[in-house]
Chain A
Amino acid sequence: MIIELGHFAVITALILAAVGIASPIVGLKRREAVWVEVGRQAVTLNFVLISIGMLAMEYSYLTQDYSVKYVYATSNSKLPIFYKVAGLWGGHEGSLLLWSWILSFFCMLAARIHWKTQPAVMPYLIAMQSTVMSGFLLLILFLSNPFERIFPIPLDGRDLNPLLQDPAMVMHPPFLYLGYVGLSIPFSFAMAALFSGRLGEEWIKATQRWTLMAWLCLTIGILMGGYWAYYELGWGGYWGWDPVENAAFMPWLVATAFLHSVMVQETRKMFKVWNLFLIILAFSLSLIGTFLVRSGILSSVHSFAADPGRGVFILGFLSFMLLLSFGTLIFRSAKLKSQIEMDSVISREAIFLFNNLFFLVAMVTVFIGTLYPLLTEALQFKKVSVGPPYYNTVFMPVALGLVFLMGIGPYIPWRKASIQSLKGLFLIPGLIALGGLAFFLIAGIRHSYALAGLTVVCFVAAVIFLDFAKLSVFWAKREQVSSLQGFLTAYKKNPRRLAGILTHIGVLVMIVGIIFSTIYQTEKVLIMKPGEETGLGAYRIKLIRLYGAEGVNWEGQEALFNVYKGETLLTQLRPQKRFYTVSQTPTTETAIHQIYTGHIFLTIPEVAPDGSWARVRALHNPLVLWVWYGGGIMGIGVILNILRGSRMKLSALHPEPALSEAPVSLPRPAREEVLHRSNRWQAFLNAVWPGRKEV
């Protein structure tokens, strides 16, 4: 009964989504606010209805109602309750429901937040969001219905895929969806701006925090997926250029480019069409990601059973969305000719331009590699696959370029920089980087990309550190406080800039982690008998014994290893080979010991039935945790960036003479820039650091 209620609620939601498209448009045409209001209420009600659908599904999971086909397919009575709840997004149908639910939630939230401040564009926003919503609900109700029943009723479920029975896997899809779907709000704002012709900077200001939030969730989702692959799949790697990883990576790259180029529009009113293009592209890539993953046309860990009907539908829906959005952009872009042109190749605008170029090039590279096999197959050529070496060779130089730009971008003035000022900014960091290069050479690093990468990281770190030092000392002197307090003052004066730099520091940390854990990984694969030992870099591992082990829904074998450094016993590790009885699936459970921020990583992919030997895979991954620590720092940076937004709002309510707090001894930055609030910090920094003064 409950499940039919949920089903009915979602059917009603589809009807309301249609109302959400039609009534705001009618309202605009007839100039009657009541119609628009109907659309707004439809959006709220939609969220309530889809929530009922979600609750009905979860109720079936918790009451173990295996007459629901999807519950039968992704759950089992022996499953721990945590995974019973998460079973909902363990397969295709439920993931789509979760996606729609997040979409309806964000849509309702956006309608509530921006209703008063953006009245002119809201009808369009609601119509646009409802269009996306209808597409997903049609797909759910007609081609992948999670509310379907089966008869005869099975006694027990088929179990959740054991690979998904992991905490990281429970959180990974929802975060990715929050990211994917989060991009739909800036997208709808952009579309609303195009439709309404209100193409100023409003839509960008309204959507900046939405984009940051979506970007943050996407980053968390990707990193969690990487962590899951690292220890659950037992490869000891976190990135394999799998088509589905690429599907999440492409919108991430474009969203990152957008977050940067938006700043140019804010400050310099340039790149207007470009920004619209980027956000439309980012959301389109989210949809393409869904297409790739959900249609089942890619063979990968993530692919779901192929159903051609779904593929055709998603392809049709995708084509409609692409035509609608890019078509509108093309027809409207004539209005958007930017009045301001670039002054110099050595200016922050130019750095942003190259930043965007690099991100787009990276995206196109991944796009070609991911879709080329599909293309050849469609054209009835040979079946091919594109290997990781392709991505690596193209990606490394692009990534190096991006990190370098990241180092100079925030410090090069807008408009035009003089050679003199560049010397002041980058001479010392350049020398430090050269010193670093010499040090790495002496330390025995010979890998060319590792050397280049670490040198660039040194350079960027030096630039950032020197800037922090100068800022801290300046404010410490001015306020007569300690340097640390001086730094905090600097942060308070300009939270957004420092939050951005913190994100960049996170990127540096992550890059060092990637370099060391991939290039300096030690790997050993061998057969071991109890009592045998083997060296692993500076460590030794010894297999003590092999024995049987079991859990609630699995049985298997466990190995006991001693890990030594020299003669000292560091730890004991117990990797497992499990066999999940319900689904008849084997899995390899990793055992990890952390040394500083690196890992000793052991798996036993195969154990002899009589327990006399085991196949052992042993890895030493130096600094591997820096990959995720770096991600954490990036996340904190972005969270601070989101929070400063609300603080700015408060200060707008209680205006304070912010600009006058900056030292007034120097001429204010000239021209229209003074008018722009986000330029306060530019003015302030010009004061602090003559090196960056505009010439």
Chain B
Amino acid sequence: MKGGKKTAIIISILIVVGGVGYLVFGNFGKNLIYFVTPSEVVTFAPDHYGKKVRVAGLVVKNSLKVVPNTLQLTFDLTDGAEKIPVAFEGVPPDLFKEGQGAVVEGFWDADRTFHSQMIMAKHSEDYMPVEMKKAGGALPKKDFFKTLKVD
């Protein structure tokens, strides 16, 4: 193989890898969505308003209100410490219910409301029957990596 051809192959590979690398890293930061808790949301500074985040929490009982004849819902989401009002427009998933865990994606705004267009209800294969749910509630999901450490 002549030197020139080898160079040509190497250069073409570099172009492909470089192009893809640019695509990956150029888009990575933009498309990361941070998970936060309601407690963190309420402390957001104004420069955080309007930035897309995901909030995980429990849907507060008796807080769910449907705005009649629209696709809007409002409810409160809590992590036990803080409670945030959520305004949602769209179709909530089947497993979305009061008193259950949910993840909402959207942004916190100057009106101190969380605006969301996507709800992910937490569901696992191993759901519990009603009696057990009443008794224990969902146990917090243990962080796998934390369990690797010795306490």
* CB of A423 to closest CB in B, whole Å: 20
Choose among A299, A311, A374, A525 the residue that contacts B91 (Cβ–Cβ < 8 A).
Answer: A525
Q: Is the interface of B mostly helix, strand, loop or mixed?
A: mixed
> Bound state CA distance, A611 and B101, in angstroms?
27
Q: B32 and A386: CB pair below 8 A?
A: yes
Some 21 contacts from A to B, beta carbons below 8 A apart, are A295-B144, A297-B144, A299-B122, A303-B125, A341-B1, A342-B1, A354-B16, A357-B13, A358-B16, A372-B28, A377-B143, A377-B145, A383-B35, A384-B32, A390-B27, A390-B28, A397-B20, A525-B71, A525-B91, A527-B71, A605-B93
Query: Which residue of B is nearest A74, CB measured?
Result: B125
Query: Which residue of A is nearest B7, CB measured?
Result: A345
Which of A389, A394, A606, A613 neighbours the largest number of chain B CB atoms within 10 Å of its CB? A394
Q: A584 and B129: CB pair below 8 A?
A: yes
Interface segment among A16-24, A195-203, A502-510, A585-593: the answer is: A585-593
Q: B27 and A393: CB pair below 8 A?
A: yes
* CB of B77 to closest CB in A, whole Å: 16
Q: Is the interface of A mostly helix, strand, loop or mixed?
A: mixed
Q: A378 and B145: CB pair below 8 A?
A: yes
> Bound state CA distance, A365 and B20, in angstroms?
9
B17 proximal to A (CB < 8 A): yes
* CB of B45 to closest CB in A, whole Å: 16
Given A311-B144, A358-B16, A615-B91: A384 and B125 within 8 A (CB)? no
A146-163: which have CB < 8 Å to B?
A: 158, 161
Q: B71 and A345: CB pair below 8 A?
A: no
> Bound state CA distance, A303 and B74, in angstroms?
28
A377-397: which have CB < 8 Å to B?
A: 377-378, 382-387, 389-390, 393-394, 397
Given A312-B147, A354-B16, A525-B91: A345 and B5 within 8 A (CB)? yes
> Bound state CA distance, A377 and B145, in angstroms?
8
The tally of residues in A whose CB lies under 8 Å from a CB in B reads 65
B90 proximal to A (CB < 8 A): yes
Which of A295, A302, A615 neighbours the largest number of chain B CB atoms within 10 Å of its CB? A615
> Bound state CA distance, A586 and B127, in angstroms?
13
Task: Please name all residues of chain B whose beta carbon is closer than 8 Å to the beta carbon of A384 when the two chains form the complex.
Answer: 32-35
> Bound state CA distance, A91 and B127, in angstroms?
11
> Which residues of B are interface residues toward A (Cβ below 8 A)?
1, 5, 8-9, 12-13, 16-17, 19-20, 23-24, 27-28, 30-36, 54, 69-71, 90-95, 103, 122-130, 141-145, 147-148
Q: B126 and A605: CB pair below 8 A?
A: no
Q: A585 and B127: CB pair below 8 A?
A: yes
Q: A304 and B125: CB pair below 8 A?
A: yes
Q: A361 and B94: CB pair below 8 A?
A: no
Q: B125 and A583: CB pair below 8 A?
A: no
Q: A301 and B123: CB pair below 8 A?
A: yes
Task: Please name all residues of chain A whose beta carbon is closer than 8 Å to the beta carbon of B5 when the two chains form the complex.
Answer: 342-345
Task: Please name all residues of chain A whose beta carbon is closer than 8 Å to the beta carbon of B20 when the two chains form the complex.
Answer: 361, 365, 394, 397-398
Task: Please name all residues of chain A whose beta carbon is closer than 8 Å to the beta carbon of B9 when the two chains form the complex.
Answer: 342, 345, 350, 353
* CB of B27 to closest CB in A, whole Å: 5
Choose among B16, B27, B91, B143 the residue that contacts A357 (Cβ–Cβ < 8 A).
Answer: B16
* CB of A299 to closest CB in B, whole Å: 7
Given A158-B129, A377-B145: A527 and B69 within 8 A (CB)? yes
Task: Please name all residues of chain B whose beta carbon is closer than 8 Å to the beta carbon of A585 when the two chains form the complex.
Answer: 94-95, 127
> Bound state CA distance, A401 and B34, in angstroms?
32
Query: Which residue of A is nearest B56, CB measured?
Result: A383
Q: A361 and B91: CB pair below 8 A?
A: no
Task: Please name all residues of chain A whose beta carbon is closer than 8 Å to the beta carbon of B92 when the two chains form the complex.
Answer: 605-606
Q: B144 and A386: CB pair below 8 A?
A: no
A92 proximal to B (CB < 8 A): yes
* CB of B55 to closest CB in A, whole Å: 11
Query: Given contacts A299-B122, A384-B34, could you give 17 more A-B pairs where the C-beta distance is less than 8 Å?
Result: A73-B126, A303-B124, A303-B125, A306-B144, A308-B147, A343-B5, A353-B9, A377-B145, A385-B32, A389-B27, A389-B30, A390-B28, A390-B31, A582-B129, A584-B129, A586-B95, A606-B92
Q: B147 and A161: CB pair below 8 A?
A: no
A652 proximal to B (CB < 8 A): no
* CB of A302 to closest CB in B, whole Å: 8
Q: B144 and A296: CB pair below 8 A?
A: yes
A340-372: which have CB < 8 Å to B?
A: 341-345, 350, 353-354, 357-358, 361, 365, 368, 372
